[in-house]
Amino acid sequence: MLLNLSIIDLAVVKSLNLDLEKGMSVLTGETGAGKSILLTALGLALGDRADSGYVRPECKRAEVNLEFDLSDAPGAQQWLKENELDDEQHCLIRRIVNQDGRSKAYINNRPVTLQFLQELSEKLVEIHG
């Protein structure tokens, strides 16, 4: 379960820290409210292609952080153990995109490839819309 989404200098967002409650989360709002930016941030952190256009103007980089509770995700727990990235019941994902479009990905504060990030993401999140 996604516990927290943190965004720094992504698109028009300078800083956002969103705590989520247990259960289903729904994003609703008027046109222009920022729903797409939240989904872009989530996708970026979960392995979508990075683009320099994501970095807020005048900033060196954008950063997205996700914190998951894995108590209901045995597949993700097993994958993390098999890849020596386990951290008990929580998982921290971080993605940084630089001005030049290059990015770095981290799982539990360890650098990982984009492929690793994408593999884990399949076990953590379902997005419908």
Instruction: Assess if residue 44 is contained within a domain.
Output: yes
Question: So what's the pLDDT on residue 32?
Answer: 73
Residue 32 within any structural domain of the chain: yes
pTM of the complete model: 0.91
What Cα–Cα distance (Å) separates residue 5 from each residue in 63, 68, 81, 93, 95? Answer: 11, 9, 23, 10, 12
Based on the structure, what is the number of domains in the chain?
A: 1
Residue 94 lies in a domain: yes
Is residue 127 assigned to a domain?
no
Phi, psi angles (nearest 5°) of residue 16: -145, 135
| Residue 108: φ, ψ to 5° | 50, 45
Residue 26 pLDDT: 77
The domain that contains 90 carries what CATH number?
Answer: 3.40.50.300
Q: Average pLDDT for consecutive 10-residue bins of the chain (129 residues)?
A: 95 94 79 83 94 93 97 92 86 97 96 95 81
103 part of a folded domain: yes
* Domain housing 39: 2-122
Map 68-118 to HEC letters. EECCCCHHHHHHHHHCCCCCCCEEEEEEEEECCCCEEEEECCEEECHHHHH
